[in-house]
Amino acid sequence: MHSSVTNCITHSASRFYRKLLRVQFPDTFFINSYKNKHEKDYNKKSMLPTTSQHSNGALSSRDAARHTAGAKRYKYLRRLLHFRQMDFEFALWQMLYLFTSPQRVYRNFHYRKQTKDQWARDDPAFLVLLSIWLCVSTMGFGLVLDMGVLETLKLLLWVVFIDCIGVGLLISTLMWAISNKYLLKHPSREFDVEWGYTFDVHLNAFYPLLVILHFLQLFFINHLIVINSDWFLGYFVGNTLWLIAIGYYLYITFLGYNALPFLKNTVRLLYPFVPLALLYILSISLGWNFTQGLCWFYKYRVQ
């Protein structure tokens, strides 16, 4: 009887402590949760590269095969079929902090490099949640623009495979080539930017842009931006949302590459803010309405 009461009190105190830790120190709480969830991988010496006594510091053939890009890609794609192995709670934490404090998100990438010897995500939970956001926001766009079921489905396929994946693959490949050729402090095979990491940076930057342009903007399209497209307030609100969304994308992209200690001159990734600001001022002066153009383009694509 006494032991059961003691266990009950201990369990309640533990739950209270976890809730308090979640509220007061959310970053520490989720980092520890991530570490505990992957404790087995963290404790396995095989997760880190090992060297043989006669290899002069080179990776053994077994470890080299495990850390190849193909092996990492296979492991990532395989986990897409096992939802129970995905840490959706941690992915939601990342999505929240991409708006409030994106630097905290990239601290986790440092932690992954130390424990699993890779910068890119090995858990596709973030990609799955982003896909859900794409589907929901695109259906909202279809409702706002009075599209039918078939037209909304076409728009969804366009947004997922062209706007997100297609453009993402193009930008990631371009940034992978530029960073490895021009931004490395000491070009070598030991220090290079993983292509998977550049794709993760794109996804991180794409998520705030998606929420702003495909979710928040929906509440203004029919009531302010498109109907009053020739009114100053209409295109001012629409273009300002575009400025904030693209600004978020550029800034989070900069943080992603600035987090890599072996890169130099990453501040150059902030240079596009200058033409972005000039284009915003020009659009307000000339009365351009970017949101109205996006709606026209979407309607044209689904016809």
Encode pLDDT of 253-265 as tens digits: 999 999 999 999 9
Reported as a single tens digit per residue, the pLDDT across 8-54 is: 544 444 544 444 444 344 444 444 444 454 444 444 433 333 333 34
Compute the half-sphere exposure of residue 70: CA atoms within 13 Å on the CB side of its CA: 2
- This prediction has a pTM of 0.77
Task: Tell me the per-residue pLDDT of 72-97, one tens digit each, with 9 for 90 and over.
Answer: 666 666 667 767 888 999 999 999 99
262 bridge partner residues: none
Do 99 and 208 meet the contact criterion of CB atoms below 8 Å apart? yes
pLDDT tens, residue by residue, 132-149:
999 999 999 899 888 999
Kindly indicate the confidence band of residue 241, based on its pLDDT and cuts at 50, 70 and 90: very high
pLDDT mean across residues, the chain: 79
